[in-house]
Amino acid sequence: QVQLVESGGGLVQAGGSLRLSCAASGRPGGRYAMGWFRQAPGKEREFVAAISWSGGSTYYTDSVKGRFSISRDNAKNTVYLQMNSLKPEDTAVYSCAAQVYGPPDTITTMRGYDYWGQGTQVTVSS
């Protein structure tokens, strides 16, 4: 079992920045990729970004490339999502997820993840 707790969400004006954190626990020494997903009101959950265990590989959906950056600190069992130049369309509930069992080629898909956090609200005002 892996428990995930997100933090760092909030209300920000367009053009501003936020940094989300996702603290993982429950699987000491486990090596797994991590991802961020988001769900806007009335829309399906979508992939945002992912990072391999080593941090050597990162993935982004096109709409956030150049604005968002995913990173991780394995010593702290924490993954971060730095979000810059935020836009109103970035408003959503952001959830982190852990890929413990899923094959690496599913890292950008929801079905590739085994554990999910509760989510944190990000609201970007215009």
- Per residue in 102-116, pLDDT (tens digit) is 888 899 999 999 999
Q: Measuring CA to CA, how many Å separate 33 from each of 43, 76, 95, 124? A: 25, 15, 14, 28
Instruction: Tell me the C-alpha distance between 91 and 72, whole Å.
Output: 23
- As beta bridge partners, residue 21 has 7, 80
Q: What is the pLDDT of residue 31?
A: 87
Q: What is the pLDDT of residue 76?
A: 93
Q: What is the pLDDT of residue 114?
A: 94
Phi, psi (deg, nearest 5) at residue 112: -85, -5
Q: What is the pLDDT of residue 24?
A: 95
- Per residue in 25-75, pLDDT (tens digit) is 987 667 899 999 999 999 999 999 999 999 999 999 999 999 999 999 999
